[in-house]
Amino acid sequence: MILSVSRRTDVPNYYSDWFINRLKEGFLYVRNPMNIHQMEEFIDCVMNGRKPEVTVYDGTKSTQIGFATTEAWKTGEIVKIKY
């Protein structure tokens, strides 16, 4: 079975019991070539009821830094980032 839920909120919302049971039974094998530990982190958070180490806030700040870096490279100017 292949299950991709990266942009679907209905799967965890309506099928969370099924999803958790599948995790417990070991029916999950996922590798993200960009971050091989991403799914393990997600599963651990779900199974143990904890918050992830990297939050959406961290991702937003990383994106801001990336855009500011690109703008600085294009303009040759210092770009300030608001925190």
pLDDT digits (tens, 9 = 90+) for 60-81: 888 899 999 999 999 999 999 8
Query: For 4-55, what is each residue's pLDDT tens digit?
Result: 555 555 666 677 788 778 777 877 666 666 666 777 788 788 888 888 888 8
Residue located via tokens 């099928």: 15
Q: How far apart are CA 4 and CA 21, in angstroms?
A: 17
Residue located via tokens 């770009």: 79
pTM listed for this prediction: 0.46
Residues in CB range of 69: below 8 A, 6 or more apart: 79
Q: How far apart are CA 56 and CA 80, in angstroms?
A: 21
